[in-house]
Amino acid sequence: MVTGLVLVRLMAGKEKGALARLKEVKGVSHVTAVFGRWDLVLDIETEDVATLSNVVVRDIRAIPGVLSTESLVTTSI
Task: Report pLDDT digits (tens) over 13-27.
Answer: 999 999 999 999 999
According to the model, what pLDDT value does residue 20 have?
Answer: 96
Question: Could you tell me if residue 21 is inside a domain?
Answer: yes
Domain range for 10 is 2-66
Q: How many domains is the chain partitioned into structurally?
A: 1
CATH value at residue 60: 3.30.70.920
Return the bridge partners of 32, or none. 41
Query: Which segments in the chain show pLDDT lower than 70?
Result: 76-77
Q: How far is CA 8 from CA 15, 37, 41, 77, in A?
A: 11, 9, 6, 25
Asked if the structure places residue 73 within a domain, the reply is no
In-domain check, residue 22: yes
Q: Which pLDDT value is given to residue 12?
A: 94
Q: What is the pLDDT of residue 77?
A: 67
CA distance 32 to 73: 17
Reported pTM: 0.92
Q: Does 28 fall in a domain?
A: yes
In a domain, 72, yes or no: no
Q: What is the pLDDT of residue 22?
A: 97
In a domain, 75, yes or no: no
